[in-house]
Amino acid sequence: MINFHLVDLMHALWMLDFYEKGSVTHAELPPLPPGRQTGLLDLATLGGGKSHYLSQINIDNGKEIIAAVAKIAKQFDLETTKHRLDHFEMALRFPITETDYKNEIKVLRDALKHDLARSHFYHYPQSKLEVLMKFYKQWNPIGKAFPAAQSEALVATDCYALGHNTACIFHIMRAAEHGLRALARERQIKLPKNKPIEWGMWQEIIGELNKEATKIGLKAAAGAAKDNALSFYSGALSDLNAFKDEYRNQVMHARKDYDEHQALRALVKVHAFMERLAEKITDKSHKIRWGLKFKSS
């Protein structure tokens, strides 16, 4: 799953480089009050013979650096970088010279590079990244009706982008199963021995749904309502039977592995299937009011 954008790291490294090499402005500390003893902070002026410390604008720049680098350090748990951030933050609480300021930046940059050199990242191939980046636009309308199915579809799409094609099939079949169950609840089908829909086998549920479609075909009065209902159920059942034989049974019983073309095709097919369902039902399924009229026996 995408959890990192290179632009954040590039910005942080740019800030470290820019502020280490850039010029600074100084602000003199006010003179010591009469009778005050020289403290540890005052000893900092002895090395260079200057009493100039950084102005507030440079202190603020330092805080911006800390915020930018801290975001990355937290996200990737960069321990050395976190330690240097704490040190830099503490240093900025007191008057600081240009030399110490730039040294803090340099050491922080070195710590960040050290930690990143030990980290590992995955680069999505561009063609697969495009599929992943389109996910929410394509699935959000479906997700309103089937949020759990959308979550599975997201994992499936990410698996495809990562090159885990068989895992992609596994998760996209879980997405399709949410649609299967919703159809079963909409038709109010009953499984043998009062078995809950969630425990029903695909073939069991599809068999009961076929009976419902056959009932409509044989007993419903001819007309637009019958045509619309049969188109909806027959299309859905055709998809489900294809999913069961081509993907679901194979992947659940470790009978077959899939390549990227098969995985992408499954993503497209299940999206079309769930899009069709989302136009009529949700995972809270209510019975569709087709306006069917059944012939008297």
Averaged over 72-91, what is the pLDDT? Answer: 96
pLDDT class for 285, splitting at 50, 70, 90?
A: confident
pLDDT at 57 over 70: yes
Rounded to two decimals, the pTM is: 0.79
Q: Please count the CA atoms within 13 angstroms of the CA of 136 that sit on its side-chain side.
A: 1
Question: pLDDT higher for 192 or 233?
Answer: 233
What pLDDT was estimated at residue 39?
Answer: 52
What type of residue sits at position 250? Q
What pLDDT was estimated at residue 27?
Answer: 72
List the Cα angle 150/155/161 in 5-degree steps: 125
Q: What SS3 class is residue 28? A: strand
What type of residue sits at position 255? R
What type of residue sits at position 177? E
221: left (phi > 0), else alpha (psi -120 to 50), else beta? beta
Residue-wise pLDDT tens digits, 151-179: 999 999 999 999 999 999 999 999 999 99
pLDDT at 100 over 50: yes
What pLDDT was estimated at residue 290?
Answer: 94
Q: What is the DSSP letter of 4?
A: -
pLDDT at 92 over 80: yes
pLDDT at 270 over 60: yes
Percent of the chain with pLDDT over 90: 79
157 vs 295: CA distance, rounded Å: 46
pLDDT class for 297, splitting at 50, 70, 90?
A: low
What pLDDT was estimated at residue 49?
Answer: 42
